[in-house]
Amino acid sequence: MELCSMKDGGSSCQVEQLANACVSERNQSSCRIQAKGLRPWSGNSTTTTNTVRHRANGTANNHCKSVEFAPSRLESVEFTGKVLVTGGSGYFGYRLGRALASRGLSVILLDLVKPRRGTPDGAVFHQGDIRDYESLYKVCEGVDCVFHTASYGMSGPEQLKRELVESVNVGGTSNVIKACLEQEVPSLVHTSTVNVVFAGRPIEDGDEETVPCVPLDMHIDHYSRTKAIAEHMVLKANGHTLKGGGRLQTCILRPSGIYGPEERRHLHRVMVNVERRLFSFSFGNHDAKLNWVHVDNLVMAHILAADGLTVRKDRVASGQVYFINDGEAVNLFEWLTPLFEKLGYSRPLIHLPFSLVYSAAVLMECLHVALGPVVEIPLLFTRNEVRNIAVSHTFKIEKARQDLGFAPLKYDLADSVDQYLKTRLLQPCPLWSRPQSLAPPWVLVLLVLLVSLAALLCYSCLLSAHTLH
């Protein structure tokens, strides 16, 4: 049973785990998380704040190419009307909004900051915060479908900001659902993550029917936990009666890591760490694999999902969840080879034990939080990111192929790397990865040495304890 209460301008969210696994069934979800009503989020937020940017995977850039799809993928889509994209200035949200506008839909991009490249033709920008219910309620008037892509805390230091992560991912989603019901929005497509089903144990070719949601207390990062809560809320809202009659149709997409031209979260962070010589090793299972999804394939999946909620498609996507990726499983360090090569570096030759790197991540997180008010401590990896890299977790997309007609196009990471390197000097760095905000080099070297020594000590202790047993 979900217990989300808003007290004194803050949030207190606790979730009681039920025995049933969260596995989507046709036209009915078995996620029995019961909410005490759908009330607007009442956390402290305003539409003018610039301290939190809740968006989907980074910031839109000034040099985006037009979105192109093979006609066979979307030729049968007749989805029309007025749509709202939350996180509409983010990397993915912006490209989704632009693609929808190019198809003739009336598009509203909702975000805290304006798109860097300007509002696409056929779209309008509304500056607002999904945690501000009154503002969200107004912008949902007359909308036929909401694409809820906004989120916070996906990677890096953002993952450690629990209150902000909860207020956006849980509180914001609660507001989106409430606004849809009150403003009679018939369709809601929610962008989730594969992390809701991954907690460090290997998954090979998992699918929606056999891979259960991870119990919330098993998540080690706030982003995955809050996205799982949000996913449950969206599934539960499916079929709820709209204020003026009719029912809300919802579906959920679970993308893997997103890449593509101008992507500023994953590629940029790896590039910065490579150039700082902080990414000179690999770790974990040599054969560990994971999935990625090109941004344009993810855009395609969202359009198909919205079409799948219509009467014309017999609402095939209603109440369903879908894994979305490029249909390929890759090893991260092999997949990133084009990035290493184009930066003039070789792939990491040193291989470290998983437990050593994980211990270092724990200590770095603690130092980042403890010393944050004094000096910014760079996070090479968080605990969650170490697990994601070191442990295989791959997923099938057959359900999306069958239900939605999803057929991902083939893309090459090298092309995205080339375009990124050509334009990176023209783009501002994300706040959490600007070199000038870091401590002096000697401080960083000292910290890295201390963390490495401490991690090595922990690793030695673990080995000793294992030997004794």
Contacts of 262 (CB under 8 A, 6+ apart): 60, 61, 63, 64, 91, 419, 420, 423, 427
- Rounded distance between C-alpha atoms, residue 464 and residue 469, angstroms: 9
Question: Is the CB of residue 357 less than 8 Å from the CB of residue 386?
Answer: yes
CB atoms near residue 394 (< 10 Å)? 20
- Rounded distance between C-alpha atoms, residue 355 and residue 386, angstroms: 10
Nearest to residue 412, comparing CAs of 324, 336, 299? 336
How far are the Cα atoms of 136, 162, 205, 316, 420 from residue 402, in angstroms, in the given order? Answer: 34, 38, 16, 10, 34
DSSP-assigned beta bridge partners for residue 321 = 252
| 443 CA to centre of own chain | 32
Contacts of 125 (CB under 8 A, 6+ apart): 88, 89, 108, 109, 111, 114, 115, 119
Nearest to residue 136, comparing CAs of 46, 55, 226? 46
413-423 vs 266-275: helix crossing angle, rounded to 10: 70
Pairing of strands 290-294, 257-259: parallel
Which DSSP string corresponds to 9-78?
TS-EEEEPPPSS---EETTEE------S------SS--TT--S----SSSB--TTPPPP---HHHHTT--
DSSP-assigned beta bridge partners for residue 247 = 241
Question: Is the CB of residue 331 less than 8 Å from the CB of residue 392?
Answer: no
SS (H, E, C) 92-154: HHHHHHHHHHHCCCEEEEEECCCCCCCCCCCEEEEECCCCCHHHHHHHCCCCCEEEECCCCCC
Which one of 91, 94, 152, 223 is the catalytic residue?
Answer: 223
State the DSSP code for 455: H
Say whether 137 is catalytic.
no
- Rounded distance between C-alpha atoms, residue 356 and residue 376, angstroms: 23
**Tokens, residue 373:** 């008010």
Residues serving a catalytic function are 223
